[in-house]
C-alpha cells in the first residue's frame, strides 16, 4: 500500500500518454484547461454544473434516452466530457445484454452517463454497484440517474476504489472499468485477490488506446486466466482520434 501511494505521488496526472493518440489526448486536455480558466474568471459555471442544469431543463423525466441526448449534445457542441460517449456507449450496452450479467460493478461514474447506459439494459433480477471518488460528480450522477427513473437497482459508493473494493462482499459477473487510468491493472488484481470476480465474468475496459494502458493490456492478453479481445473505436465525441475498448472474459 505504501509503495502504491508513493508511486502515485510521482506523477501529477493520472495517466501516461500513448504515442498513437497524442493528438486525441491533447485536444481534450486543451478543452479541459480552457473550461477551467473560463470557470475561474467567472465567465461560465463548471461544465458539470452546466450539464446538470441543461438536463434539469431539457430532459424528460423517466426517459433515459432524453438525458443521454442532452449530455451527448453538450459534449459535441460545447466542450469535451469524459463520458464513454455514444459510439462506445452502444458497444457497452451490447456487452451488458450479450453477457447476460446479473451483478455488475462500475469503476468510475463521472456524471452517470455510462451508469444510465448500463442500468437501462439490466435484466429483471440484475443490479449495478458503482464506485466514484469525486463527491460532487457522484451527486450530479445520482440526480441524473434518479431523473432517468433508474435508481431502484443501483447503488453508488462514494470513495476511492482501493478503499471500497476490499469491503465489497459479492462476486461480479460484469466489471466496467473507466476510472483513473493508472488504477485499471491494480484494481483488477485487487478484485481477483479478494475473489470478487465470477467465472466467465466480462471485464470491459474503456480508453485502452487513448491512454497508455500497455501494462493492463499486456496482463489481460497474456494471462491464461483471461480470453481477451480488442474493439477499435474512435475517442468519445471525436470522429478521428483513435481509441478502443478491451473485453476480457475471466476464465479462472
Ligand atoms: Ca472513458
Mean pLDDT per 10-residue segment, the chain (252 residues) = 42 63 82 88 92 98 98 95 96 98 98 98 96 98 98 98 97 98 97 98 96 95 97 93 96 91
Distance from the alpha carbon of residue 245 to the mean position of ligand 1, in angstroms: 9
Distance from the alpha carbon of residue 135 to the mean position of ligand 1, in angstroms: 18
Distance from the alpha carbon of residue 110 to the mean position of ligand 1, in angstroms: 9
Determine the pLDDT at residue 14. Answer: 57
> Is 212 in a helix, a strand, or coil?
coil
> Is 128 in a helix, a strand, or coil?
strand
The cell numbers describing 141, all together, are 450522477
Distance from the alpha carbon of residue 103 to the mean position of ligand 1, in angstroms: 21
9: burial class by Cβ within 10 Å (0-12, 13-18, 19+)? exposed
C-alpha 187/C-alpha 46 separation (Å) is 29
**Cα four-point dihedral sign 221, 236, 18, 233:** positive
What is the CA 164 to chain-centroid distance, rounded? 16
User: Residues whose CB is under 5 A from ligand 1 (ion)?
Assistant: 178, 206-207
Q: What are phi and psi of 236, to 5 degrees?
A: -55, 135
Determine the pLDDT at residue 250. Answer: 98
Q: Residue 242 forms beta bridges with which residues?
A: 234
Distance from the alpha carbon of residue 207 to the mean position of ligand 1, in angstroms: 5
C-alpha 26/C-alpha 48 separation (Å) is 20
Distance from the alpha carbon of residue 209 to the mean position of ligand 1, in angstroms: 11
Question: Taking the domains of the chain in order of start, what are their residue ranges?
Answer: 19-250
Give rounded-to-5 percent helix, strand, coil for the chain: 50, 20, 30
Cβ count within 10 A of residue 204: 26
- Residues with catalytic annotation? 178, 181, 206-207, 236
Determine the pLDDT at residue 23. Answer: 81
The class level of CATH for 19-250 reads alpha beta
Determine the pLDDT at residue 6. Answer: 42
C-alpha 43/C-alpha 88 separation (Å) is 32
Contacts 24+ apart (CB under 8 A), 9-13: 11/182
Read off the pTM: 0.90
Q: What is the four-CA torsion angle of 204, 29, 183, 211, rounded to 10 degrees?
A: 60
> C-alpha angle with apex 61: 97 to 53, nearest 5 degrees?
110
Q: Which residues of 61-73 are buried (b: 16+ CB within 10 A; e: fewer)?
A: eeebeebbbbbbe
Distance from the alpha carbon of residue 233 to the mean position of ligand 1, in angstroms: 12
46: burial class by Cβ within 10 Å (0-12, 13-18, 19+)? middle
Distance from the alpha carbon of residue 17 to the mean position of ligand 1, in angstroms: 15
Amino acid at each position: 500500500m505504501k509503495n502504491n501511494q508513493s508511486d502515485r505521488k510521482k506523477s501529477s496526472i493520472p495517466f501516461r500518454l500513448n504515442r498513437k493518440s497524442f493528438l486525441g489526448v491533447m485536444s481534450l486536455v486543451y478543452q479541459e484547461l480552457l473550461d477551467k480558466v473560463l470557470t475561474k474568471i467567472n465567465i461560465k459555471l463548471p461544465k458539470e454544473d452546466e450539464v446538470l442544469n441543461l438536463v434539469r431543463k431539457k430532459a424528460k423525466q423517466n426517459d433515459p434516452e432524453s438525458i443521454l441526448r442532452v449530455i451527448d449534445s453538450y459534449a459535441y457542441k460545447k466542450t469535451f466530457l469524459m463520458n464513454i460517449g455514444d459510439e462506445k456507449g452502444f458497444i457497452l450496452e451490447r456487452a451488458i445484454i450479450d453477457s447476460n450479467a446479473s451483478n455488475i460493478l462500475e469503476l468510475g461514474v463521472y456524471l452517470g452517463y455510462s451508469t444510465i447506459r448500463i442500468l437501462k439494459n439490466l435484466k429483471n433480477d440484475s443490479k449495478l454497484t458503482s464506485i466514484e471518488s469525486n463527491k460532487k460528480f457522484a451527486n450530479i450522477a445520482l440526480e441524473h440517474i434518479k431523473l432517468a427513473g433508474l435508481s431502484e437497482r443501483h447503488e453508488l459508493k462514494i470513495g476511492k476504489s482501493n478503499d471500497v473494493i476490499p469491503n465489497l462482499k459479492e462476486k461480479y459477473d460484469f466489471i466496467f472499468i473507466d476510472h483513473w487510468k493508472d488504477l485499471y491493472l491494480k484494481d483488477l488484481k485487487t478484485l481477483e485477490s479478494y475473489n470478487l470476480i465470477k467465472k466467465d465474468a466480462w471485464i470491459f475496459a474503456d480508453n485502452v488506446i487513448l491512454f497508455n494502458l500497455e501494462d493492463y493490456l499486456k496482463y489481460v492478453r497474456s494471462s491464461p486466466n483471461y480470453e481477451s479481445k480488442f474493439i477499435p473505436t474512435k475517442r468519445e465525441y471525436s470522429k478521428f482520434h483513435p481509441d478502443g475498448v478491451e473485453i476480457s472474459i475471466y476464465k479462472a
